[in-house]
Structure 1
């Protein structure tokens, strides 16, 4: 059987899609064999923990809990509730929960201008942050570990510049310029909290400050901190602002440290907690995954719009957590048995759970907790006993749940009658629960590679059809009426030299030439390229430039080709149209030009007049679009007749 060309193309397309999906699923797979590859190390480590902690009973020892808050974005221009409710968090929530540690993982201030586009450090915002933390007295009862985010690094020339208010107005800034470690030993549990500061130096204004960067010095510091943490603590909790998918590591001839590998190389590393992505605007509220090295990566929803915070605990060597909205009580966290989705073989003494005698639950409220009840079938309920503080325990028979996934149901009531209900899956035989696909994609892929792929794909879409059609003597046949018309218009446009070459040459310019030259930091002129940014004699490989260019390609350059096709068709066949109808026929170009003017205006607000004037990506493309539109509508009559003859030439 002879296959048609369309069938061959379709099969080839399916093959490419299959290869792409196979590679994607492999990159985001969580059912990896990390534990098997490191089985001996894992067994030795978990055996050590099991011997240290002993049997899980109703003891109030061997448990520690801490809080995380992220992306506070204190602003003097918008949403005063961020400030007032952050003050409530420090005054009430932290004191009610009484954690050993509070992690504030970046974007402490908003650092955005009133127009929401310009960006620079605002001293008043830092003073608000400093005063709230200090005047609440929260640092008297707990340890406050804060670290910078990309907003805390906007428009900062050097880490030692006056504009780096983190040094003077944060809790840790005067002691730690960048990454650091803090050790705590409480209630029989020793933990190292290792903070990763991946803010680039210098810090550009937005939007080119989205990706974190670990230079050689910072990589060496993190290696040193990790080695010290392994010798001083049984558990390591890593924290930072950027997810690992949004962190680049510079490399030299000697070495390059991959943060994921560095975290995963220590058996004591349980988790990396971060913020930055704001749960993708609430679309991915549970952005959690298990990285291939066997540890958890957990992005926390922002305080800015969603008022989220996280309670986490290490109980007899097992890590547990729950994310909660501010002022929603009671707050409940089951620490034994551990949640089935988040078990970490080789990193936790999971063998202690089947031998445990008690279910263990942390329950908090801003008033007294009245009852904590549990059930395995939601029919018969048992009341837990309060031991000390927030710990509630209940005797159980784990041998009844030895195989598969089971569910523990928890109801907590406080004295105001408020109720919290928790459905808690657990397993005693290691049965796996999968993570959702979208969090795995966002946390396990490399954002830089994704941005490059999107930019490259849109660049090909912009020029490849035109180049291919230009090589064709006749427009390719297509059965669909509208598809045939579009292909014919594209084919005709590809034959117009004065349009074809500018489009192709501009597309060829984008991956190599500068997109803008101007003051990227106050007082310092730099150049933006697709592949990075040059400023102050330094090269910053900021992959977000690819995403910025992708916006131009998607909303301007690719639509421009179709708008010019429409204009060419009007020039060839509708030259007799006059008046209002002529204006209506040019509305697509007017709409496209409006988008370009808006994008250029935004760029001017972000980076100033010089960048606007010397901006081939945003500003100069407006002139190019106007020129191509004018040339298309004013093709000489003889040129038009020759184009029409091409469509009449027999194949």
Structure 2
């Protein structure tokens, strides 16, 4: 990091997660030693004395912080900007030419900050929104305004923020570490959004240049001897109508900014595979290399490829290139990056878990109705649907399991999932629809993801296990039926009744521990913690001890000497469903 600081740029922006605050991986809390190390790095390198150091908090920095705006918060004590600013702030850089460039931080961290994993999405309160509006208005007269925050907008509850950034050209953020690489998008309103991979694991950093009001950038990994950024002409795919794009066709020089460990000896420039010349070092800026060009020659509305080959005196070489167009039109391409940064993920996560729970409840109501309805006998062939329907009807015919499982599904929407010390010194409750702590409501966070995983890997397998167990118990009690179990059916029964149940109990214990490791007492007292595993065990034991009277459905066998033999289900002495195969019996 000290090498990057030697670049001595006008400004260095740290967009959050100044600390990790997780150890071991499942537990999160405020580790003061990490904050001390961060502050020591700033003091040792003396970076804040010769460049503007703009740091801000990320979600890792507010883990288990009950009041991140308090003067006792470690962020307020050890960070550079936190000493002066308790949340969002703005900084204006004035150059020797009296040009002003404003940088506005947008703090969307939880307040209070609860521990991981249910502290992932950004949220902005009405109070903070007013603060950002005030900061934004202060920058209206700047030549260029850049907004930065920790969270991508698609991972936040930030209604109204886009409107406040309408005079900014870019929103810089991070947060996702290396989950998805190269996340860049231009939104429909013209705002450019650029997400950056992390420094901790991937040693990634970004160099941003502003050339005549036009922003260019490159992301690098910290393992290169040379770091170049083409500042003019700008790459066509990153142009935005919020920039003075007409200046591209009026430019007189190709410009590239180069940071390097060793002196640069060659900067060869070519366009469309045609060599133009060797760029020379600017007199005013030793990191700037320029080459005269005739912009009118390339102002034809087409894309052109600019390629620059750079070599230092240690014979290290690097190539950089971009595709540019001097027209003022912008290019819109639907890419993976645009998809990730344009979709509102909290809403997307809400849909599958809500839909799955509703379908689950409807399915149980359907099978319960199938048990109780009155209808004439109907033949059932050996189909996949009937293999599912009969055990489900048996399960739903038992009041204990029908009401317990449908009640558990409904409880996902109503009751608290986790209860415990969600932040230092304060007990809170996490619901499907949000979190309540210190009398403050926080919108749904990672519980939507946690709940979806629990549905697929625990709740649905548990239902299958109980279904198989009840059906097996029913067949065992129905002594009037002679059951000749095949080897395949026996293996299937052992898997669904015994092995699957063992898996569900182990999984719910593991998943509950992972989800509540940061919250004291939560694993023990949370409804979706240890009590859920105990409740599952209770249902399983009851399924092995059911009596015939517990079933509202009856399986019998009837024999007619002169015609038909069939297995049927009698329901409330009114309805029968054929589940066997008719066999003609010849008279002697």
What TM-score do the two structures reach when normalised by structure 2? 0.86
8 Å contact kept, 1:288–1:435? no
Q: Does 1:464 align with 2:358?
A: no
- Distance in 1, matches of 2:42 and 2:382, equals 65
* 1:308-319 pair list within 5 angstroms: 308-319=204-215
CA change 1:136–1:467 in 2 (3 A) is same
2:564 alignment counterpart: none
Deviation per residue, 1:138-186 (Å, 9 max, x gap): 1222110000111111111223556511112111111111111101012
8 Å contact kept, 1:451–1:543? no
2:322 alignment counterpart: 424
1:499 alignment counterpart: 401
8 Å contact kept, 1:190–1:234? yes
Measured after TM superposition, the shift of residue 535 of structure 1 is 1.7
Deviation per residue, 1:35-55 (Å, 9 max, x gap): xxxxxxxxxxxxxxxxxxxxx
CA change 1:424–1:187 in 2 (3 A) is farther
Q: Secondary structure at the match of 2:336?
A: helix
8 Å contact kept, 2:169–2:191? yes
1:274 alignment counterpart: 173
- Distance in 2, matches of 1:211 and 1:476, equals 53
Q: Secondary structure at the match of 2:165?
A: helix
- Distance in 2, matches of 1:496 and 1:208, equals 37
Please, which of 364, 380, 390 is the counterpart of residue 287 of structure 2? 390
Measured after TM superposition, the shift of residue 431 of structure 1 is 5.3
Q: Secondary structure at the match of 2:409?
A: helix
1:175 alignment counterpart: 84
Q: Does 1:590 align with 2:488?
A: no
Measured after TM superposition, the shift of residue 219 of structure 1 is 1.2
2:469 alignment counterpart: 567
Compare 431-440 and 233-242 and name the one that shifted more. 431-440
- Distance in 2, matches of 1:215 and 1:436, equals 31
Deviation per residue, 1:373-413 (Å, 9 max, x gap): 12223364632222241111222233333122221122212
- Distance in 1, matches of 2:381 and 2:182, equals 46
Q: CA RMSD in A?
A: 2.8
Deviation per residue, 1:112-137 (Å, 9 max, x gap): 12x22221111110111001111112
Compare 317-326 and 430-439 and name the one that shifted more. 430-439
- Distance in 1, matches of 2:329 and 2:165, equals 25
- Distance in 2, matches of 1:184 and 1:94, equals 18
Q: Secondary structure at the match of 1:204?
A: coil
CA change 1:588–1:470 in 2 (3 A) is same
- Distance in 1, matches of 2:226 and 2:57, equals 31
Q: Which has the higher contact order (CA 8 A, sep 6+)?
A: 1
Please, which of 85, 100, 103 is the counterpart of residue 13 of structure 2? 103
8 Å contact kept, 2:139–2:145? yes
2:569 alignment counterpart: 646
2:573 alignment counterpart: none
Measured after TM superposition, the shift of residue 588 of structure 1 is 1.2
1:116 alignment counterpart: 25
CA change 1:478–1:117 in 2 (3 A) is farther
More helix by share: 1
1:206 alignment counterpart: 116
Contiguous gaps of at least 5 residues in structure 1? 1-88, 250-256
CA change 1:131–1:245 in 2 (3 A) is same
- Distance in 2, matches of 1:400 and 1:324, equals 32
Please, which of 150, 165, 168 is the counterpart of residue 241 of structure 1? 150
Please, which of 395, 404, 409 is the counterpart of residue 307 of structure 2? 409
1:600 alignment counterpart: 512
- Distance in 1, matches of 2:394 and 2:553, equals 12
- Distance in 2, matches of 1:358 and 1:540, equals 52
- Distance in 2, matches of 1:365 and 1:261, equals 39
Q: Secondary structure at the match of 2:190?
A: coil
- Distance in 1, matches of 2:208 and 2:577, equals 74
Measured after TM superposition, the shift of residue 494 of structure 1 is 3.2
2:582 alignment counterpart: none
2:187 alignment counterpart: 291
Q: If you compute each CA radius of gyration, which structure gives the higher value, 1 or 2?
A: 2
